[in-house]
Homo-oligomer: A and B are copies of this chain.
Amino acid sequence: MRKFIPNIFSKTGAAPGTLTHIGERKDAKTVITVLNYSVDRFYEQQYDTIEEALAAIDSSMTTWLNIDGVHDTAIIEQIGRHFNINALTLEDIFHTGQRPKLEEYENYLYLVLNMLHLDENRDEIGSEQVSLVLKNNLLLSFQETQGDVFEPIRERIRKGNGQIRTKASDYLAYALIDTVVDHYFVILETIGNTIEALEEGLLQDPTADTMHKIHAMKRELLYLRKQVWPIREVISRVTREELPLIHPKTGLFFRDVYDHIIQIVDTIESYRDVLSGMRELYLSMLSTRTNEVMKVLTMIATIFIPITFIAGIYGMNFKFMPELDWRWGYAAVWGLIVLIVLLLIAFFKHKKWI
């Protein structure tokens, strides 16, 4: 079953601020990428150790420090010390499975998002925590695994496409968030296609299997809504509150992200309504079919049971049964049978069963 509980509780009773990584431990090495850029230049380099990476930061440019893999506590702690990040924030970066949120600290903004992807093998939605720490001309991004989701943004920085090189780290944060949110649409489209296929299948031949799939799909949408809903609030706060680290002009772009989130939430609700409608449709189709099956049974039984009774009567072995000796007795019985059948057919017609 899809787990609805986050894995936070596994540290029940432990002191807050204890830095233990919680979540599925990935064996992959932590990869640190530093990307310094300004309007006219950019340097990009992958590092093995955090010391080298921190040394590579050029404070005269905008820096994007991306960390793939959050299981190495030592690295995160070192980053925390270097950038003066609160222990609670570090804890949230470690303990993946956080609810999306925005937290304002004195010298930085902390944002948690969920990157969703369809798990091909298990036909389920997978979730990965992305943490962003936004400082004045620096953005730290933490991902659970190494992925190429942010590759198009790196490409835009490299090629200087669009406005990204002319803008500060808040715009970079916007670009990352926008990418994460846009990926939800991809998932929604896959779900939409699956629902469409299910609905066509349902209309052609409603089977119990369709119901199981509808049930499973509803569960996935429940999970999706639980993931997306808090993001709405996060982005809404970014556009509503005047955060010192977000330039008002970048705020305009976040308004755009907010529109997308609203559309995603709306679409999830619509899908849930559609699935509910399909379940209702399935049940009423089933009722209709049961009703039809019953009618067939009833008609057959109602026609044959009485005439079988008549045949039974004249199969009795009584000594004195005058009808048996009549010349036209047998023909009369057939006549009676035909009469009964005709009457019953008239009755069914009257009842609109045929």
Contact = CB atoms under 8 A, between A and B. Distances in A.
A152 B14 CA distance: 7
A256 to B, nearest CB: 6
A294 interface: yes
Interface in A193-220: 195-196, 199-200, 203, 205, 207-208, 211-212, 215, 218-219
A150 to B, nearest CB: 9
Interface stretch (A115-123, A124-132, A275-283): A275-283
A-side interface size class: 35 or more
A349 interface: no
* Copies of chain A in the complex: 5
**Chain A interface SS verdict (over half):** helix
B285 A208 contact: yes
A273 interface: yes
Interface stretch (A29-37, A60-68, A322-330): A322-330
A208 B222 CA distance: 26
A147 interface: no
Interface in A265-287: 266-267, 270-271, 273-274, 277-287
Nearest to A6: B263
Nearest to A280: B279
Interface of A: 1, 3-6, 8-9, 11-18, 86, 88, 98-99, 101, 103, 152-153, 156, 161-164, 178-179, 182-183, 185-186, 188-189, 192, 195-196, 199-200, 203, 205, 207-208, 211-212, 215, 218-219, 222-223, 226, 252-253, 255-256, 259-260, 262-263, 266-267, 270-271, 273-274, 277-291, 293-298, 300-302, 304-309, 311-321, 323-330, 333, 351-353
